[in-house]
């Protein structure tokens, strides 16, 4: 017989301090792991079954990596951590008074009590009040987003090969990326590489080199957090690759066939483009609002919640909020803020249980930022040092290999990078209709995916029919009747 640990079960101990962690992203995962040796029971509640390495989503969208390489199952990552349990569910309620978290999956509700809570639910895409744009310009926040975009990008080239007019071809071969931050720059660079390098021999009627890739931003520069110098260098590199960079350009409308841009003088221009990518803004998880309503902590315009210097909420020292959800000292929305914040929260919890003196306030250590532009070209900012080109790209490669979760993923990602960067191929070009349309179909259901779950009772007739068919199949084989005319 297997004991609990062999079965991968948690070793929950009655009366032990219960930590609930919301989210399986950088904050959630690193916070949970930091409690590995603590005398606590950890329950991670997350709405996906994977830990997502968001910085490489653009490579899934453009066919370089598979989704598995950047989104390993959280359950597998934590399999050896006996004090941790993972449950699937979207947190819909946090009751700070009762100290419970309510989560839902397919209409099933679960209530999880806690003694300490770490909220690391991250941020979603912001369309600045124009959520109707989302249907035509998917964001880049989830595996679903990346696969949908992969389908749309590769699908646009396929449809262009079939187009009957010049106008239609141009519309299909125009790709617009909205937002010139790191994600927008990386997407624009990769779509340009696809068009100019990867796909150039694959089509007969169209010349993929004719594709227009446009990067738009309302801001006056590319990559503002990297400073003016690196921003200018990035713009120059993109333009050399054939990307049209339009700055001071605000998107005011998006539809199926294109978008409308307004410049600073108020003039409007329409760009016909079937494929649009939205990489322009973030909105913190709506759980911030729930927490704000119960504590009075302020929310900023992006929905981020103000936290105390020790990352707790006013009047609730047992509740920590970390990562993209917080507004503290102008900290950026980057992975290291989430990782370091979650480790800090775990340290405070362990310290309290050991009756140690309180930790000093949370202090973020900036390890630098980097963004790739194309193969062999990147920009990096480490302290005051600015690096561009191949050296920056090598730094990018090193950091991403180190931080990708799991040895298996590192090896396969390296293989795929070799194919894409040294050769001209892409290992993950598979795109299906469901990738492109499933989300739209689900959004039309009244109760979302819950509407797709059938009452077990409704399956009885199907079961009877399947059983009868299986009996008939087995009889045909056993009676040697295959290939012989049936004698009635
Ligand atoms: C495309 C892209 C590229 C990026 N590139 C970089 C980069 O190069 N370098 C860098 O440092 N940072 C980068 N970032 C930012 C970085 O990924 C985030 O700062 C980081 O992920 C924040 O960590 P987090 O734990 O706060 O949130 P996340 O990592 O987003 O995790 C949030 C978790 O909460 C879960 N969740 C959300 N709502 C609920 C709910 N209601 N119930 C249950 N679970 C929920 C989500 O499923 C997810 O598991 C990038 C982000 C994106 C989107």
- pLDDT digits over 474-487, tens only? 999 999 888 877 65
- The whole-number pLDDT of residue 170 equals 98
Q: Which ligand 1 atom sits nearest the alpha carbon of residue 322? A: 26
How many angstroms separate the CA atoms of 96 and 319, rounded?
Answer: 8
- The whole-number pLDDT of residue 9 equals 46
Q: What is the pTM of this model?
A: 0.91
- The whole-number pLDDT of residue 484 equals 78
Q: Which ligand 1 atom sits nearest the alpha carbon of residue 121? A: 34
Single out the residue of 158, 212, 23 nearest to residue 431, CA to CA: 158
Query: What is the layout of strands, in order, in the sheet containing 385-388?
Result: 369-374, 377-382, 385-388
Q: Which ligand 1 atom sits nearest the alpha carbon of residue 92? A: 41
Single out the residue of 224, 226, 222, 269 nearest to residue 241, CA to CA: 222
CB-based pocket (< 6 A), ligand 1: 22-28, 45-48, 54-55, 57, 90-91, 120-122, 140-141, 182-183, 285, 287, 323-324, 333-336, 338
Which residue has a Cα nearest atom 36 of ligand 1?
121
- The whole-number pLDDT of residue 449 equals 85
The tokens for 203 are: 């089509």
Which residue has a Cα nearest atom 49 of ligand 1?
24
How many angstroms separate the CA atoms of 364 and 121, rounded?
Answer: 19
- The whole-number pLDDT of residue 485 equals 72
Do the domains 131-280+369-436 and 9-125+283-353 match in fold? yes
Instruction: Calculate the CA 52 to chain-centre distance.
Output: 6
- Cα of 54 vs centre of ligand 1, distance in Å, is 6
Which residue has a Cα nearest atom 7 of ligand 1?
55
Fold of 9-125+283-353: FAD/NAD(P)-binding domain (3.50.50)
Active site residues: 186
Let me know if 205 is exposed, middle or buried by CB neighbors in 10 A (0-12, 13-18, 19+).
exposed
3-class secondary structure, 426 = coil
Which residue has a Cα nearest atom 4 of ligand 1?
55
Helices (H) and strands (E) in the chain, counts: 14, 23
- The whole-number pLDDT of residue 11 equals 54
Q: Which ligand 1 atom sits nearest the alpha carbon of residue 279? A: 1
Let me know if 422 is exposed, middle or buried by CB neighbors in 10 A (0-12, 13-18, 19+).
exposed
- Cα of 475 vs centre of ligand 1, distance in Å, is 55
- Cα of 123 vs centre of ligand 1, distance in Å, is 6
- The whole-number pLDDT of residue 471 equals 94
- The whole-number pLDDT of residue 406 equals 79
Which residue has a Cα nearest atom 6 of ligand 1?
55
Single out the residue of 95, 49, 98 nearest to residue 71, CA to CA: 49
Domain covering 131-280+369-436 in this structure, CATH number: 3.50.50.100
- Cα of 24 vs centre of ligand 1, distance in Å, is 9
Phi, psi for residue 447 in degrees, rounded to 5: -110, 25
Which residue has a Cα nearest atom 15 of ligand 1?
334
- The whole-number pLDDT of residue 12 equals 64
Q: Which ligand 1 atom sits nearest the alpha carbon of residue 337? A: 19
Question: Among 120, 122, 371, 380, which residue has the most ligand 1 atoms within 8 Å of its CB, making it the best to mutate?
Answer: 122
- Cα of 365 vs centre of ligand 1, distance in Å, is 19
- The whole-number pLDDT of residue 184 equals 97
Domain boundaries, the chain: 9-125+283-353, 131-280+369-436
List the chain pLDDT tens, one digit each, 488 residues: 333 334 444 556 678 999 999 999 999 999 999 999 999 999 999 999 999 999 999 999 999 999 999 999 999 999 999 999 999 999 999 999 999 999 999 989 999 999 999 999 999 999 999 999 999 999 999 999 999 999 999 999 999 999 999 999 999 999 999 999 999 999 999 999 999 999 999 999 999 999 999 999 999 999 998 999 999 999 999 999 999 999 999 999 999 999 999 999 999 999 999 999 999 999 999 999 999 999 999 999 999 999 999 999 999 999 999 999 999 999 999 999 999 999 999 999 999 999 999 999 999 999 999 999 999 999 999 998 999 999 999 999 999 988 887 788 888 988 899 888 888 889 899 999 998 888 888 888 888 888 888 666 677 788 888 899 999 999 999 998 888 776 55
């Amino acid at each position: 017989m297997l004991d609990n640990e062999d079965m991968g079960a948690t070793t929950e101990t009655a009366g032990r301090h219960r930590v609930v962690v919301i989210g399986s992203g950088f904050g959630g995962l690193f916070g949970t792991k930091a409690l590995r040796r603590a005398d606590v029971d950890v329950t991670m509640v997350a709405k996906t079954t994977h830990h997502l390495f968001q910085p490489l989503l653009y490579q899934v969208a453009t066919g370089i990596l598979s989704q598995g390489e950047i989104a390993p199952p959280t359950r597998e990552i934590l399999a050896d951590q006996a004090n941790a349990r993972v449950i699937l569910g979207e947190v819909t309620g946090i009751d700070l008074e009762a100290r419970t978290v309510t989560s839902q999956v397919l209409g099933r509700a679960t209530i999880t009590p806690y003694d300490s809570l770490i909220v690391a639910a991250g941020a979603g895409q912001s369309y600045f009040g124009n959520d109707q744009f989302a249907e035509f310009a998917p964001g880049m926040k989830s595996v679903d987003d990346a696969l949908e975009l992969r389908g749309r990008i590769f699908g646009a080239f396929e449809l262009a090969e079939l187009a009957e007019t010049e106008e239609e071809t141009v519309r299909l071969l125009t790709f617009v990326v909205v937002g010139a931050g790191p994600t927008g720059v990386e997407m624009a660079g990769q779509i340009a590489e696809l068009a100019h390098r990867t796909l150039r021999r694959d089509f007969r009627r169209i010349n993929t080199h004719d594709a227009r890739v446009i990067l738009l931003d309302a801001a006056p520069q590319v990559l503002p957090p990297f400073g003016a110098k690196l921003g200018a260098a990035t713009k120059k590199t993109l333009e050399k690759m054939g990307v049209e960079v339009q700055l001071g350009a605000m998107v005011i409308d998006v539809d199926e066939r294109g978008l409308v841009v307004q410049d600073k003088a108020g003039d409007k221009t329409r760009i016909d483009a079937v494929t649009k990518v939205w990489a322009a803004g973030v909105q913190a998880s709506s759980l911030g609002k729930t927490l704000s309503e119960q504590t009075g902590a302020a929310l900023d315009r992006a929905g981020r919640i103000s936290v105390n210097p020790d990352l707790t909420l006013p009047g609730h020292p047992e509740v920590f909020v970390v990562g993209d959800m917080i507004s503290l000292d102008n900290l950026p929305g980057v992975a290291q803020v989430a990782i370091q914040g979650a480790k800090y929260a775990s340290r405070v919890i362990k310290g309290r249980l050991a009756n140690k003196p309180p930790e000093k306030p949370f202090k973020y250590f900036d390890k630098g930022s980097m963004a790739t532009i194309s193969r062999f070209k990147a920009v990096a900012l480490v302290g005051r040092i600015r690096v561009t080109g191949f050296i920056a790209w090598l730094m990018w490669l090193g950091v991403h290999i180190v931080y990708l979760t799991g040895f298996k993923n590192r090896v396969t990602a390296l293989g795929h990078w070799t194919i894409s960067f040294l050769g001209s191929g892409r290992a993950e070009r598979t795109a299906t209709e469901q990738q492109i349309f499933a989300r739209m179909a689900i959004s039309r259901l009244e109760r979302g995916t819950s509407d797709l779950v059938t009452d077990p009772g409704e399956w009885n007739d199907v079961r009877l029919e399947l059983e009868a068919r299986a009996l008939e199949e087995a009889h045909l084989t056993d009676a040697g009747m295959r290939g012989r005319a049936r004698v009635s």
